[in-house]
Amino acid sequence: MSDRYQGFVQSPLGRVLVKNLGLPDPVRLDRYTAGEPLVDGVVGLGGRGRLAGPLPEILDGLGIASTDASGGPGDTTFRGLVLDATGLTSASDLVALRDFFTPLMRSLTTCARLVVLGTPPELCHGPERVAQRALEGFTRSLGKEVGRGGTSQLAYVAEGAEGAVASTLAFLLSPKSAYVSGQVVRVGATGTTSPGQVEDWLRPLAGRTALVTGASRGIGEQIARVLHRDGATVVGIDVPQAASELQELMAELGGDHLTLDITGKDAPQRIAHHLQEKHGGVDVVVHNAGITRDKKLANMAASSSGDRWTSVLDVNLVAPERITRELLDQKVVHANGRIVGVASIAGIAGNAGQTNYATSKAGVIGLVDALAGELPDGITVNAVAPGFIETKMTAAVPFATREVGRRLNAMSQGGQPVDVAETIAWFANPASTAVDGNVVRVCGQMMLGA
Mean pLDDT across 400-423: 89
Average pLDDT over residues 398-412: 81
32 catalytically annotated: no
Catalytic position from the list 32, 156, 179, 357: 357
In-domain check, residue 12: no
**What pLDDT was estimated at residue 10?**
79
Are both 160 and 302 inside the same structural domain? Answer: no
Q: End-to-end CA distance of the chain, in Å?
A: 24
Q: What are phi and psi of 212, to 5 degrees?
A: -130, 120
CA nearest neighbour of 159 among 51, 244, 25, 257: 51
CB 49 within 8 A of CB 88: yes
CB contact set of 297 (below 8 Å; sequence gap of 6+): 355
Among 121, 155, 187, residue at a domain's last position: 187
Is residue 179 located within the same domain as residue 282?
Answer: no
Query: Can you point out the beta strands (E) in 288-346?
Result: 333-342
CA distances in angstroms from 161 to 48, 191, 195, 328, listed in the order given: 17, 11, 7, 26
Residues 300 and 385 in one domain: yes
Asked whether residue 331 is assigned to any structural domain, the reply reads: yes
Query: For position 195, what pLDDT does the model report?
Result: 87
Cα–Cα nearest to 388, from 348, 344, 350, 429: 344
Q: Which residues pair with 42 in a beta bridge?
A: 65, 78
pLDDT of 238 reads: 98
- Compute the distance between CA of residue 91 and CA of residue 130 in angstroms, rounded to an integer: 7
One domain for residues 246 and 393: yes
Supply the range of the domain harboring residue 99. 31-187
Say what percent of the chain tops pLDDT 70.
97
Question: Is 305 among the domain residues?
Answer: yes
Domain count, the chain: 2
pLDDT band at residue 304 using 50, 70 and 90 as cut-offs: low
pLDDT class of 448 with cuts at 50, 70, 90? low
Q: Residue 382's pLDDT is what?
A: 98
d(CA 36, CA 394): 30
Whether 292 maps to a domain, the answer reads yes
How confident is the model over 345-356, as pLDDT tens digits?
Answer: 999 999 889 999
pLDDT of residue 190: 87
**DSSP secondary structure string, 70-113?**
TT--TT--EEEEEEE-TT--SGGGGHHHHHHHGGGGGGEEEEEE
Clarify whether residues 43 and 161 are in a common domain: yes
| CATH number of the domain where residue 116 is located | 3.40.50.720
**pLDDT per position as a tens digit, 198-208:** 989 999 999 99
pLDDT band at 26, cuts 50/70/90? confident
Q: Are residues 284 and 424 in the same domain?
A: yes
User: What pLDDT is recorded for position 449?
Assistant: 58
Reported as a pLDDT band with limits 50, 70 and 90, residue 314 is very high
Tell me the mean pLDDT in the region 321-332.
98
pLDDT of 243-281, one tens digit each? 999 999 999 999 999 999 999 999 999 999 999 999 999
Residue pair 234/228 in contact (Cβ under 8 Å)? The answer is: yes
3-state secondary structure of 444: coil
Q: Give residues with Cβ within 8 angstroms of 108, minimum separation 6.
A: 77, 78, 79, 81, 146, 148, 150
- Our measurement of the distance from residue 54's CA atom to the centroid of its chain's CA atoms, rounded to an integer in Å, reads 25
In what helix (H) or strand (E) does residue 82 lie, and over which residues does it extend?
A: strand 78-84
Q: How far is Cα 139 from Cα 439, in angstroms, rounded to an integer?
A: 17
Buried b (16+ CB within 10 A) or exposed e, 296-321: eeeebeeeeeebbbeebbbbbbbbbb
Question: Is the pLDDT higher at 392 or at 398?
Answer: 392
Region 34-50: mean pLDDT is 96
Is 350 inside any structural domain? yes
* pLDDT tens per residue, range 125-165: 999 999 999 999 999 999 999 999 999 999 999 999 999 99
In angstroms, the CA 60 to CA 77 distance is 18
Q: Please check whether residues 376 and 245 belong to one and the same domain.
A: yes
CA 129 to chain centre: 26
pLDDT 10s digits, 54-101: 999 999 999 999 999 998 888 899 999 999 999 999 999 999 999 999
For residue 270, give every residue at least 6 positions away whose Cβ sits within 8 Å of its Cβ, in sequence order, or none. 258, 260, 264
Query: Is 128 within a domain?
Result: yes
Q: Are residues 148 and 213 in the same domain?
A: no
Question: Domain check: are 300 and 426 in the same one?
Answer: yes
Q: For the residues 1-29, what does the mean pLDDT come to?
A: 76
Measured between alpha carbons, how far is 57 from 377 in angstroms, rounded to an integer? 28
Residue 1 neighbours by CB distance under 10 Å? 12
**Measured distance CA(430)–CA(57) in Å, rounded:** 19
Q: Cα–Cα distance between 444 and 414 in angstroms, integer?
A: 8
- Give the per-residue pLDDT at 193: 85
User: Is 335 found in the same domain as 219?
Assistant: yes
Instruction: Please tell me the predicted confidence (pLDDT) of residue 1.
Output: 62
Bridge partners, residue 259, by sequence: 238
pLDDT at 407: 87
188-192, 208-212, 286-290 — which is least confidently predicted? 188-192
pLDDT of residue 417 exceeding 70: yes
Query: Residue 425 in 3-state DSSP?
Result: helix
pLDDT of residue 19: 73
CA separation (Å) from 137 to 104, 130, 134, 182, 399? Answer: 19, 12, 6, 9, 33
- Pair 51, 111 in one domain: yes
Do 150 and 286 sit in the same domain of this protein? no
**Which of 339, 333, 344 minimizes the C-alpha distance to 290?**
344
pLDDT at 408: 87
Cα distance between residue 420 and residue 106, in whole Å: 30
Question: Is residue 26 one of the residues assigned to a domain?
Answer: no
Give the model's confidence band at 395: pLDDT under 50 very low, under 70 low, under 90 confident, else very high: low
